[in-house]
Structure 1
Amino acid sequence: MTELKLGNIKSIAVVGGGPCGSAAIKSLLKENAFSRIVGFERRFETGGLWNYSDETSNTQKLPVPSLDPHDPSLLTPFKKPEDGSYIWPSAIYELLDTNVPYQIMEYSGTKFPESSKIFPTKQEVLDYFKEYSKEVEQYIKFGTIVVDVSFFPENENEKWRVTYRKVCDETNGGLEESDLVPDEVEMFDAVLLASGHYDLPYVPDRPGLKEWSAKYPNSVSHAKSFRHARQFKDAKGEILLVGNSASGLDLAYQLATILKRPVYKSARSKSSLPGGSSDFIKTVPDIESLDPETKQVKFVDGTTLDNVEKIIFATGYLRHYPYLKSLNSSDKPLVTNGERIRNLYKQLLSYNYPGLAFICVPRYILPTRVSETQTSWLAKVFTHKIKLPSVEQMEEEENKLLEERGDCPKFHNMMYPEDVLYSRSLNEEIKTVPGWEKTMVPCEWTYEDIQLRASANPLKEAYLKYKELNDGKCVTSVDELENSLGFQYAEVDKSLFGLD
């Protein structure tokens, strides 16, 4: 059996200073066992992708289809003409609110304001994250983009080289090397990647799509460039939205209810996520092909849609880590086609590259809670307080999951109750370490929390219905939904979670 040799870890780099990166830094600091912790964030402030911007010009340059997770030129910052600052437009749109109630989004020891809506708006979420991150800002190099992370196993003490670059005019927003502002290099014992996975849009290929996009520029877009339904108010032809997950459901609902016109939503399968309903939303099957000459879209059941003017792909994102070029070109790549990250124990810790970890890889989890739990667990692994299984056992565990789910994006799915069980299992391992109470204490999953998690979908649907019936008023109390709409919590199997 092969042991994962982590060595003496004292210095740690955290790539990403958003909600997960801030939680990682805070957890590492509270472990009080590391001599140097450095965060790297390309934006100039905390909050990550929750920093909303109306600008979408960089996402409109996306190739159609978009299938290459390794092309660093696909994501570029936008320079604001009014002040010369650089921004990276994110997946956040104007009327976005969360899909889970704020009570189970909270970090340990940091509460949302009592006046918060059950499902907070983007601004409420951003304000919350910024408040939480204040105490770790001094450890983050803002306006800094990581351009390379390389592994040197022969260096027993400092195995990881991180090369980073200032985001400024001289480097064209961090995209180019500059003699005037040269790249900088630091060595670390470990690297935590907390840069998220909502960056590089995935646009699947379909016969005729490339030709369609070339013939009708700006007719094909991705949900990342959606900001408000008003972007499509002048469309004379049909609007086709592709995707039936969280953003697909929400964007279809917004387009239908704001524009008051039919919106066709192409879905491969039934969604397990919440969404508003409207008679204007017309669900159609998956796309088989597109004919740019006639502007007709054909679906897999043989039906067609004529006079299509706008196609919006709400089809998710590719796993994109351009700074891992040397590792991905090795015989043990972490990312190949962008659908999943390979060779991770607990979807977290690399067992091929000692000291490398990915924060919040699973989909459909609660990143705030999970990031604190994961990094508290990692801190104890890095200090050898939690013993890891052999590399062979870790590989066997991943292969078992691979057999169950396949080599595809679903590999990283972790929906309720799996997400709760995952967090609780890490928490239990943390509690085996003497003195764990003096380090980062992740949120516990109480019965009330689990009940909210189990009920998140019907709760969101009731929330949207209440808003529709009350001229846009947002409810702040579950009791109000119970009284006005008869909302009922989902039943929870206490035995599944070891609850009395």
Structure 2
Amino acid sequence: MDVRTVAVIGAGVSGVSSAIHLRNAGLEVTVFERGDVAGGVWVYDPRTALEPSYPAVLPSVGDSPAFDSFLECRDRKVRRDSPVDQDSFAAKRLPKSNHLEILHAPPGPCYQGLHNNVSTPEMKLRTHDWKPDTPDFVPHDVLATYIQDTAAANNILPLVSFRTRVTKVEKKEKKWEVSIAKLIDEDGEKEVQNAVQLFDAVVVASGHYHAPNIPDYPNLKAWKAAFPTRISHSKSYRSPAPFAGKNVLVIGAGVSSTDICRELGGVANKVWQSSRGGEYDLLPSMLPDNCTRIGAIAGFSPLTSTANLRHDDTLPGSVVLTSGDKITDIHHIILATGYHMSYPFLSHLHADNLLPSQASNTILVTTGQVTHNLHKDIFYIPDPTLAFIGVPYHVATFSLFEFQAMAVAEVFAGSADLPEEEEMREEYKERVERKGVGRKLHSLKDDEVPMANKNPWLYAGLASSFPNISRAEDNKTRICQPIPDPWDPPSTSPQPCKTFTKPTADDSSTTTLSETPIQDAPTNSILVFRYKDKIHAIESACPHQGYPMTRATLSDIEDFGIVLSTGITCPKHGWTFDLHTGEADVSRYKLGLYEVELRQSEDGDEQVWVRKKERKRIG
């Protein structure tokens, strides 16, 4: 897999995590985000998206078919030779629209009272800490800010093209063509301009809370047409205030539905929650006192009138349950019926007319229930340079999605391997046979993700014994200072790096490394040092000809002024190895790396433990 440039679609937690780890792996990353800020589903917008069709549009169309119709540009030929900037866009501009901003980036489902339901410690990212004293459960704005702060702290924002919607992604020869529509302000008016960029790989981190699933209940379409403001999808729900004193039917019994019912309980007159009795429905004991759990919906009765309703009038009809019972005197209906898996920019990989069981080996989406043909819910099996972050659910989302992003970064950077396509296909088939092709396919409830490094941890000393190596002004920092002479005063600073004898197979019970003087260190030693306040551990010999890396220099690996990683350069032949991946800049030789773990000691210092990195296999 030869990957250098990567497009990331979306700047929620999945996209931000992907960008950080891809960039840190030495890859060139561009993030496309159709909104104004990072944060994804946690960004609150008091506006709502245009109401979806009743029943829902096909998954291949996505969450805003009006935008596609407005653009009329899915197959338009635009420039293919330019980067994303003001001068690169196709000269032809698109028509104006009062709704253009909402069509271009429809507001998400975040409502005023939304909180996380997985504790913040379980959602912590490796790349950024929560602010001190952050509670376990916080409002949406705290979560959105955390994602935005993570992006800023890791210098990701310069890589993000905001207000940029991806309209098409298609493989042409060996490159992915990514077509975009960027919203700009021109003389006080909003314009959309198109462009195309080429990438070696694409990461889809767009989430799956965009395209509402509207069931095709009998007569629902007629009810919606007659009384459009009385029936809505939960994506448009913002607060319980408009429902004060009303009777509300909420269809669905998942997390969002139950949360909305609990909010409505404080203001509504009566609430019904309809449940199909699904495996993932929440318990009725979580509902407020004025909310009644009822059975599944069979359909809606024919309307007895379509005349305009007064504020306090109830809907002129009944909702029929599968039991035959009827619910009447309803003021409002909220469909908390979930969302389709939908990737409209990959519409050629959708097959809306097929059942999930009929999906071929190349189809991504059929009815919208699942994303087909993914290895580990991440890599598109026919072409793993297309990857997806954030598909699974029933997980600690932030931490799992970051784990997925790390796996993608290692595969794209060449630090980890995927099985052959046939082996990935067999594993996927076994999973489908075990879980089915419904929503359960992506549920990781009660699943474990075993990926263990079998190499032992080895103790290398206290962190305080590794002085920090400061960066030289010429960006060529010596890793080890010269050996002090015997007549040097005792206050002479110790050498900032240390070498340790590597345990042999016969020393399998050894847990403490034995330090060896640098001048006597054999070629198979472990070199440990601290640079820019981070401790590294590597093989002490250059993988080319065994030259001692104690004589090497350290430097920042930069791209347009952005520090991507740290490099170590062997002075014998001038090759630089990336300390994150071990990859060389001009050859296929790879430097041996060790993982480093800091453990708190009883005296308040930290212990340095290292173990040899395994070449990972994602499968």
Say yes or no: does 1:18 pair with 2:22: no
Say yes or no: does 1:246 pair with 2:246: no
Tell me if structure 1 keeps the 8 A contact 2:164–2:180.
Answer: yes
Residue identity matched to 1:221: S
1:140 to 157, 160, 167: 160
2:178 to 156, 162, 167: 162
Say yes or no: does 1:122 pair with 2:140: yes
Task: Judge which range, 286-295 or 134-143, deviates more.
Answer: 286-295
Q: Please list every run of 5 or more consecutive structure 2 residues that lacks an aligned counterpart in the other structure.
A: 68-95, 305-315, 352-358, 458-536, 539-577, 583-593, 598-619
Secondary structure of the 1:378 match is helix
| Alpha-carbon distance in 2 for matches of 1:247, 1:173 | 37
Q: CA deviation at 1:142?
A: 1.1
In structure 2, the partner of 1:263 is 271
1:280-291 pair list within 5 angstroms: 280-291=290-301
Task: Judge which range, 72-81 or 106-115, deviates more.
Answer: 72-81
In structure 1, the partner of 2:493 is none
Say yes or no: does 1:28 pair with 2:22: yes
Secondary structure of the 1:257 match is coil
| Alpha-carbon distance in 1 for matches of 2:293, 2:319 | 14
In structure 1, the partner of 2:345 is 323
Tell me if structure 2 keeps the 8 A contact 1:75–1:200.
Answer: no
1:176-255 pair list within 5 angstroms: 182-233=193-244, 235=246, 238-255=247-264
User: Cα 1:310–1:109, aligned 2, differ >3 Å: closer, same or farther?
Assistant: same
Task: Judge which range, 194-203 or 324-333, deviates more.
Answer: 324-333
Task: Judge which range, 310-319 or 83-92, deviates more.
Answer: 83-92
Q: CA deviation at 1:404?
A: 2.6
Residue identity matched to 1:54: P
Residue identity matched to 1:99: N
Q: CA deviation at 1:282?
A: 0.1
| Alpha-carbon distance in 1 for matches of 2:202, 2:433 | 29
| Alpha-carbon distance in 2 for matches of 1:13, 1:173 | 29
Tell me if structure 1 keeps the 8 A contact 2:118–2:137.
Answer: yes
Which structure has the larger Rg over C-alpha atoms?
2
| Alpha-carbon distance in 1 for matches of 2:160, 2:166 | 12
In structure 2, the partner of 1:62 is 52
Tell me if structure 2 keeps the 8 A contact 1:320–1:338.
Answer: yes
2:31 to 36, 39, 53: 39
Q: CA deviation at 1:255?
A: 0.5
User: Cα 1:243–1:428, aligned 2, differ >3 Å: closer, same or farther?
Assistant: farther
1:423-438 pair list within 5 angstroms: 425-426=450-451, 438=580
In structure 1, the partner of 2:382 is 352
1:342 to 343, 350, 372: 372
1:321-353 Cα distance to aligned partner (Å, 9 max, x none):
111123336972211221111100001100112
User: Cα 1:92–1:354, aligned 2, differ >3 Å: closer, same or farther?
Assistant: same
User: Cα 1:85–1:190, aligned 2, differ >3 Å: closer, same or farther?
Assistant: closer
Residue identity matched to 2:55: P
Residue identity matched to 1:290: F
| Alpha-carbon distance in 2 for matches of 1:73, 1:376 | 29
In structure 2, the partner of 1:89 is 107
Q: CA deviation at 1:439?
A: 6.5
Residue identity matched to 1:38: T
1:436-447 pair list within 5 angstroms: 438=580
In structure 2, the partner of 1:296 is 318
Tell me if structure 2 keeps the 8 A contact 1:27–1:439.
Answer: no
| Alpha-carbon distance in 1 for matches of 2:258, 2:36 | 32
| Alpha-carbon distance in 2 for matches of 1:228, 1:84 | 20
2:440 to 407, 410, 434: 410
> Normalised by the size of structure 2, how large is the TM-score?
0.61
Secondary structure of the 2:265 match is helix
Say yes or no: does 1:102 pair with 2:102: no
User: Cα 1:80–1:426, aligned 2, differ >3 Å: closer, same or farther?
Assistant: farther
| Alpha-carbon distance in 2 for matches of 1:323, 1:68 | 13
Secondary structure of the 1:308 match is coil
In structure 1, the partner of 2:534 is none
Residue identity matched to 1:8: D
1:390-420 Cα distance to aligned partner (Å, 9 max, x none):
22221222222222332222221122x32xx
Say yes or no: does 1:149 pair with 2:169: yes
Q: CA deviation at 1:219?
A: 2.0
Residue identity matched to 2:176: W
Secondary structure of the 1:110 match is coil
Q: When you count strand as a share of all residues, which structure comes out higher? A: 2
Secondary structure of the 2:242 match is helix
1:347-369 Cα distance to aligned partner (Å, 9 max, x none):
11001123000101011222321
Residue identity matched to 2:340: L
User: Cα 1:26–1:340, aligned 2, differ >3 Å: closer, same or farther?
Assistant: same
Q: CA deviation at 1:217?
A: 2.1
| Alpha-carbon distance in 1 for matches of 2:454, 2:410 | 9
| Alpha-carbon distance in 1 for matches of 2:134, 2:418 | 41
Residue identity matched to 1:95: G
| Alpha-carbon distance in 2 for matches of 1:114, 1:132 | 15
User: Cα 1:375–1:252, aligned 2, differ >3 Å: closer, same or farther?
Assistant: same
Q: Please list every run of 5 or more consecutive structure 1 residues that lacks an aligned counterpart in the other structure.
A: 1-6, 445-500
Task: Judge which range, 45-54 or 385-394, deviates more.
Answer: 385-394
Secondary structure of the 2:109 match is coil
Residue identity matched to 2:260: L
Q: CA deviation at 1:431?
A: 11
| Alpha-carbon distance in 2 for matches of 1:340, 1:215 | 33
In structure 2, the partner of 1:71 is 61
User: Cα 1:385–1:431, aligned 2, differ >3 Å: closer, same or farther?
Assistant: farther
Tell me if structure 2 keeps the 8 A contact 1:287–1:299.
Answer: yes
Tell me if structure 2 keeps the 8 A contact 1:373–1:426.
Answer: no
Tell me if structure 2 keeps the 8 A contact 1:80–1:87.
Answer: no
Secondary structure of the 2:156 match is helix
Q: CA deviation at 1:79?
A: 9.0
Q: CA deviation at 1:438?
A: 3.9
1:131-184 Cα distance to aligned partner (Å, 9 max, x none):
1111200111111111110112x33xxx211111211367x999xxx8xx6421
2:333 to 295, 311, 318: 311
User: Cα 1:315–1:173, aligned 2, differ >3 Å: closer, same or farther?
Assistant: farther
Secondary structure of the 2:36 match is coil
Q: CA deviation at 1:277?
A: 3.3
Q: CA deviation at 1:121?
A: 0.6
